[in-house]
Amino acid sequence: MMWFIIVCLAIIFVIKVLQDWRRPRLFPPGPRGLPIVGNILDVKRLVDETKFYSHAWCRLADIYGPIVGLKLGIAEPLIIVSGKDAVIEMMSRPQFDGRPNECIHRLRTGGKRRGVLFTDGDVWRDQRRFILRTLKEFGFGNVTMEDMILNDAVSLTTTIESLGKLGPISNLYNITSIAVLNSLWTLVAGSRYELENPKLTEILSVVNEIVRNTNVTGGILTHLPFLRHIIPGLIGFTTLSQKWARMWQFIRSEVTTHKQTRTHGEFRDFIDVYLAEMDTKQSSSSVSSFNEEQLISVVKDLFSAGVETTNNTIGFIITYLTVKQDVQKKVHEEIDRVLGKEILPRVVYKNRMPYLNATIAEVMRVANVGPTSIPHRAMADSILLGYEIKKNYTLLANLRSVHMDEQHWGDPKKFRPERFINDNGDYVEDPWLIPFGIGHRKCLGESMARNSVFLFTACLLQKFQFTLPPGHPDPILDGVDGFTIAPPDLNVVAIKRK
């Protein structure tokens, strides 16, 4: 009898495996894969060959077309969407505005779905609306914000000048990351940090390690999540949990300090306003998503998303201009013509600096700091370009495929800012450049990110010429893969301009 039960269970298991392996009739095309593990080995092989997940997605698009279906372990299918038309179609449709709800996404916010990056529905809408309204009241996107960014940019140039006198600078990424964070942190927590602050340096290092060691597919923790109960150390679950916990504790301590020092009716920053909103919601009888864990998660999202992509973009600008001295020279000439040596850059001067705008745009296009969207989730059964996308499928918009489309750009691998300059010498935006995404889930900090990148870049290049040390090999400009793409490790010589 026992053997009969075992055989029956084995048959049921095999049938289930084969059913999962079989592709439905309208499932998007893609590599066949293997039972249980699906396409994990196919993706690994492509990433080993191309060195980047985003390059692997482009390779799959070349083979199978704009909509590619992958099955990675026991997770819901992953749909890679490539090419401008398909990307715009997917990111513009509200039924694809959800976020996946895997263990790795819950892990980053205390074990539950919280925050604004990886939530959807009413919670996401309420939190996003509150964030935008509150940050705007504290200067988000206006002159007050510009002054903060400029103060941090000027402090950064002073630090770089001091370090530059000692020789090549090897940790420029860490220095700029604190400067970039300070403006946002002033709005969020009402305080600024010195560029050498050890506490913040440690947390930024934690964020950097997490981003470098994760990818948008979620990795093995999403593909085969049960392994975290069996071999948590081997698959990186233990280390990742510890790093997220350290960041959680850092922000919790900031919230605790605010609770102890705030004055009723007075608002110093975003955290104070959020705490007041919590009080208001709790005094009413309505169910609310505003609580302390949600606050920590929101600040965590602002902290990590607000620093990583902006800082990486600035890092890539310095990297490209260090290598492309002819482009750097043209930027210097434009800055000297418009600003001179003493006038601080301002957003009001932006339209008078087409070549700097074009250079920033070209770096955003070719570096692809965010080569894909953050994962989306189908919130209902849908059809996308003739293929069936079932509820809870995960979708990735392959932004790199748009930015490197040969038919549109002609020579996409060539670094050429002039592609954004028209015959009259004006900067012209190209609708094919979408580094912040599109649709309802596009980056909520786009305006601040654009202003930060412009002001920091203008300040740095007004004061310095960046070169490679003598004998330094040319860096590989592709950067370092992770959840986002980081600039390559680089030693730079910062020469103060006369």
Cα(54)–Cα(432) distance, integer angstroms: 17
Q: Which residues contact 32 (CB under 8 A, 6 or more apart)?
A: none
| 443 marked ligand binding residue | yes
HSE-CB of 114 using CA atoms within 13 angstroms: 21
Q: Which amino acid is at 425?
A: G
Token pair of 60 as six digits:
């799959």
Cα(182)–Cα(148) distance, integer angstroms: 8
Cα(405)–Cα(432) distance, integer angstroms: 9
**Do residues 477 and 210 lie in contact, with contact meaning Cβ atoms separated by under 8 Å?**
no
Token pair of 461 as six digits:
């290049």
**Do residues 306 and 181 lie in contact, with contact meaning Cβ atoms separated by under 8 Å?**
yes
Q: Which of 421, 459, 493, 407 is nearest to 166 (CA)?
A: 493
CA distances, 297 to each of 116, 255, 256, 370, 441 (Å): 8, 11, 14, 21, 18
43 Cα distance to chain centroid = 21
Cα(128)–Cα(416) distance, integer angstroms: 36
Report the b/e string of 38-48 with b at 16+ CB within 10 A: bbbebbeebbe
Q: Which of 8, 9, 33, 10 is nearest to 23 (CA)?
A: 33
Cα(9)–Cα(3) distance, integer angstroms: 10
**Do residues 488 and 480 lie in contact, with contact meaning Cβ atoms separated by under 8 Å?**
yes
Q: Find the radius of gyration of the CA atoms of the chain.
A: 24
Residues making up the annotated binding site are 443
Binding site feature residues for heme: 443
